[in-house]
Structure formats: structure tokens, C-alpha cells
A and B are shown apart, each in its own frame.
Chain A
Amino acid sequence: MTAEPIHDASEELYREQLLDRYREPQHRGRPERFDHSHRELNVTCGDTCEVFVRFDEGHVGEARFEGRGCAISMAAADLLMEAMVGKSATEISALTEADMLKILGVPVGPARLKCATLALKTLQKALLEQK
């Protein structure tokens, strides 16, 4: 057994704010109206994410998601959907993995990068597809 101090990486990764989002997402559920949607599978674990985006005059009016997955991927999806309101398609397409990690706000190691970026990948593909 390691005699590590209580403060460790998992406590940083699984901050309360992130766990709250995972337990009680605010942007989850398929909306009635949307212009773009896409469903993506994380091949390494079978997690799924589906996003629905509605544009109002060139900017995101609402973005929601559906899916099944770990705390990281689901919290990332919820936070991303929130952050997208008001953004243009061009702005969304330009988002990088680093931007996604900034939105997530917790340190993510390489093993969990795919979980953290699943929603972004799904969202960017959704913009290429009409409803």
C-alpha cells in the first residue's frame, strides 16, 4: 500500500462540480427542435454521445446531448453544450482539444482524453450533418 496523502489526482479529477454535472446534467435530453445532430461511439469503451444543435440566426440557440458513459465524458458533454450557446458554426469548428479541457476545468490524463473529447468530436461532426 502507498502512504499517499489524502489530496491526490482522483480528487482533483473528480471535483464536486464535475460530479454534480454527471449526476444531474442540465443539458441532457433530446429536444423537439434542432437543426443538426450526430451520434458518436467511443470505440475504446463503448460510450456513446449524441448531440442536437439548434441555430438562431447563425448562432447556437440551444445545444443538448444524450448518451451513456463515464463521469468524464458525460460531464464534458453537459459543460460543452452550455458553453456553445451563442457560438457560430465557424467558432465551433475551430475548437480544439485544449479548448475542451479548458471548459472541463479538471486535469485529464492521456488515458481519459478520448472520454473528455467525445462530446466535442460529436458536436463538430453534427455541424457537418443536417437534421
Chain B
Amino acid sequence: MTNRPPLDVRRLRQDFPLLAADPSLHYLDSAASSQTPVQVLEAMDNYYRHFRANVHRGMYRASETASVRFEEVRRKAADLIGAHEEEIVFTRGTTESLNVLAIALTRKLGPGDEVCLSALEHHANLVPWQMAAKVRGFALKVLPLDTEGRLDLEAARTLIGPRTKVVSVAHVSNVLGTIVPVQEVAALAHAQGALCVVDAAQSVGHLPIDVRRLEIDFLAFSGHKALGPTGTGVLWGRKSLLDGLEPVFYGGDMIQEVFWDRATWNETPWKFEAGTPDVGGIIGLGAACDYLRLVGVEVIRRHELELLAYALDKLRAVPGVKLLGPARAEERSGAISFSVAGVHPHDLATVLDTENVAIRAGHHCAMPLLRDLGLIEGTARASLHLYSVPEDIDALITGIAKAQKIFRV
């Protein structure tokens, strides 16, 4: 596996319609949403053209084919993260997965209990817990960062205590790019009898993930950040834990038997999937998982790491640019946040757009983190994926110089 050759990025870029159609486009916003390869589009198209039917209920061939293709995505997604297929719950994305967990895991919590989050969290791994805390009366604790934006494990050791029932952390920060040592966090949680939830929106497809090796309990990710279609996602949980949780959404497909005054639930994972799922989207997600596995996530990581080091070096050399997050590329993944003195991030993004460089500017749905960093006006963020090339970084550098010229800084 580790001896696999480096990526043939030039060839692989031809799989991505937007990049193939416009070779001058420098797409540096994969942390917001990745591009989608034709293999994914074809898988979805195939469903809509050849076996477009609902799943799990039709007694005819199209529905049977749809059900088989839909169900086999559980194995594809499971293989990508080292899980078992019956542990894969399909959702609309990381946000929905985390909302489900924040409700389902806190039903029995109350005053005196605590849930710990890291200071890196995206709003999607903060607000659902805040709301649950309001309803149930438990307390939220925030695990702090060190000066480089890394999780302070020593502080975490003291904050995660006997009152802690759940520790929910991002695997990779969507703002700072920091890789959080989730295995250590999970060990701290388990030592106190707490569960460990991982928001893997920024890591699936970028870092090799094996949920058994990480010894975590739940994991959430989105299809659209991992080469799949928008509106698809996964909630993974250990089978025994999912079995013990009550569903959050109710309706068709998730039930076993219904009476006028009560109902019983379907088995895991279906009891968490109320209503007709995004069949075409999930089939597309399966193709995305295949694509990532075929290319090899370790190979992708090696490519991104090389490019990340190149980008950090280049950006560091630009006067007025301040980089956020860990200094060492090895401690980071995909996202590179920075500020340019005298140029507001939005203005920078607009100028870069005229150079056909697509970046993200703003608070990246992590307002508390940016407030902590004293950067409430936001940051500029460039982010990578397997199709990113050094020319994208060069164009970014050129665009920054242009913005500095316009703003005379």
C-alpha cells in the first residue's frame, strides 16, 4: 500500500468536469465542497435512467436493483473507514449526523453531566450540543488549544472527568487544518466511561481512517466533501451502541410494526433512516467511496502533504501574510487559513476570483474559534484535494500580490 506510486494528478483531473472544462480554474475550496468525478455522475445517471424506483419495498426488478445498489453502498462506505456495513447510517451530511447524535446521545443526560467539545468545532458540532444542553440541563465544556492551534491534550486530560458523558471533536479543523489526535481523545473519554464522537467532515478522503484502530465510538462525514454528491452523508457508530439508541426521525422505512397508539423500530441501521432516502445520491456516494479507495487515501495524503508544505512555504514568503494553525505540514490536513494585512478576506477573495482562483473567505462556520483568535472579521482559506496542483498555489500567490497592489499595502 505504502509503495504505491504518486498520483498522476494531470490525468486524474480529467475525471473532474469543472477542472477538465476550464484548465485555468484554480479551485482551492475543497474544504467547503470537493469536485465530483464523472464516475460519480455516471453512477447517479445510471440509477435515474435504468432502475429509477424506490428502495426496500417494490416487488419488481427496478426496485430490486435500486435496493441492491443502494444497500451495497454501506459496504463501500464501511470499507473506506474500517467499519462494518451494518453500522453505516445514511444521512444528508455531517450536520445531520451530528444533530442525530446530539439528540440521541443526550436523552438520558441531565444536570451534573458534561459534554466536552474542542475549541476548533464547526457550528455543526457545537450548536446541536448547545441546544441539547438547554433542554437536558447538562453542561458543555470546551477543550482548549495551544498557541499553534493544536488541541491541548494536557488540558483535555483534566477537563474530561467523571462527569463527562460524551466527547465530540473534529478530526481535522476546517479553519486551521489542525489534525486532532482523536485516538488519544477517545482514550481519555473511555477512561472516564464517556463516548467519543468524531466529526470527520474534513478528514474522510484526505487521511486514512480506521475507526477500529482509532477506537472511537461514532463518526460523521459528508459525501460532498469526499468527491460525492451534495445532500449525502454517513453516520457511523459501533453496532452495539447504535442498537441501544432510540431513533430521532420517525416515518416510513424506519419502523417494524405500527399500531394506532405505538410503534416498534426496524433494525440498525434502518431505524435511523426515516422516509425515502436520496437513493441516487447515495449510489453516487458509493461511487465516490470506490474512487477514493481505488486512488488510495494514503496516496492522496502523501500528495496533499507535499502540496501543503509547498503552499505553507510560498505563503510564508509573502510579506503581510499571516498563517494560522500548526507550523508543521505533518500536523495539518487540507485547509490553510491566512490573513493579508490591509486586505479584508472578502476583498481578497473577490480579487482572487478575477484571477480564476476560488477560495473561501469568512468565519467558516466557526465563529467562536475566530473570536478566540481575535479574527472575527474572518480569514481567507485555501484548501486542497487530490486534484490540486502547485500551479493552484502559484496562482494564489500571484492573486495575493495583485490584491496588495490594488489596496496599496
The distance from the CB of B24 to the nearest CB of chain A, in whole angstroms, is 5
A interface, how many residues as a size bin? 20 to 34
Q: Which 8 A-B pairs have the closest CB atoms?
A: A70-B344, A70-B346, A10-B354, A45-B362, A2-B24, A10-B351, A70-B347, A71-B347
Question: Given A70-B344, A115-B346: A46 and B377 within 8 A (CB)?
Answer: yes
A117 to B363 CA separation, bound complex (whole angstroms): 19
The distance from the CB of B393 to the nearest CB of chain A, in whole angstroms, is 12
A13 interfacial by beta-carbon distance below 8 Å:
yes
23 contacts between A and B (CB under 8 A): A1-B391, A1-B394, A2-B355, A2-B356, A4-B354, A8-B354, A10-B402, A10-B406, A11-B406, A14-B347, A14-B351, A14-B406, A19-B406, A19-B407, A19-B408, A44-B362, A45-B378, A46-B363, A46-B367, A47-B346, A47-B377, A71-B407, A72-B347
Q: Which of A82-114 contact B (CB under 8 A)?
A: 109, 111-112
Q: Mark B341-381, 1 if CB is under 8 A from A, else 0.
A: 00011110011011110000111000100100000111000
Which residue of chain A lies nearest to B356 when distances are taken between CB atoms in the complex? A2
Q: Are A45 and B351 in contact (CB under 8 A)?
A: no
Residue A72 contacts which of B346, B361, B403 (CB distance < 8 angstroms)?
Answer: B346
A113 to B117 CA separation, bound complex (whole angstroms): 35
Q: Mark A11-55, 1 if CB is under 8 A from B, else 0.
A: 101100001000000000000000000000000111100000000
A9 to B344 CA separation, bound complex (whole angstroms): 17
Name, among B347, B394, B402, the residue most crowded by chain A CB atoms within 10 Å (CB to CB): B347
Q: Are B361 and A45 in contact (CB under 8 A)?
A: yes
The distance from the CB of A20 to the nearest CB of chain B, in whole angstroms, is 11
A61 interfacial by beta-carbon distance below 8 Å:
no
Chain B residues proximal to chain A, CB less than 8 Å: 24, 344-347, 350-351, 353-356, 361-363, 367, 370, 376-378, 391, 394-395, 398, 402-403, 406-408
Chain A residues proximal to chain B, CB less than 8 Å: 1-2, 4, 8-11, 13-14, 19, 44-47, 68-72, 109, 111-112, 115
Question: Contacts of B24 on A, CB cut-off 8 Å?
Answer: 1-2
Question: Contacts of B354 on A, CB cut-off 8 Å?
Answer: 4, 8-10
Name, among B346, B394, B407, the residue most crowded by chain A CB atoms within 10 Å (CB to CB): B346
Question: Contacts of A14 on B, CB cut-off 8 Å?
Answer: 347, 351, 406-407
A4-B354, A19-B406, A46-B367 known; 4 new pairs, CB 8 Å cut-off, are A1-B394, A69-B377, A111-B350, A112-B346
The distance from the CB of A6 to the nearest CB of chain B, in whole angstroms, is 10
Question: Contacts of B378 on A, CB cut-off 8 Å?
Answer: 45-46
A45 to B408 CA separation, bound complex (whole angstroms): 23
Q: Are A112 and B350 in contact (CB under 8 A)?
A: yes
The distance from the CB of A67 to the nearest CB of chain B, in whole angstroms, is 11
Question: Contacts of A109 on B, CB cut-off 8 Å?
Answer: 350
Question: Contacts of B403 on A, CB cut-off 8 Å?
Answer: 10
Question: Contacts of B356 on A, CB cut-off 8 Å?
Answer: 2
The distance from the CB of B337 to the nearest CB of chain A, in whole angstroms, is 14
A69 to B345 CA separation, bound complex (whole angstroms): 9
A71 to B378 CA separation, bound complex (whole angstroms): 14
Question: Contacts of A112 on B, CB cut-off 8 Å?
Answer: 346, 350
Question: Contacts of B394 on A, CB cut-off 8 Å?
Answer: 1
Q: Are A10 and B344 in contact (CB under 8 A)?
A: no
Q: Are B361 and A13 in contact (CB under 8 A)?
A: no
Name, among B344, B355, B394, the residue most crowded by chain A CB atoms within 10 Å (CB to CB): B344
Name, among A1, A9, A70, the residue most crowded by chain B CB atoms within 10 Å (CB to CB): A70
A47 to B24 CA separation, bound complex (whole angstroms): 31
Question: Contacts of B367 on A, CB cut-off 8 Å?
Answer: 46
Question: Contacts of B361 on A, CB cut-off 8 Å?
Answer: 45
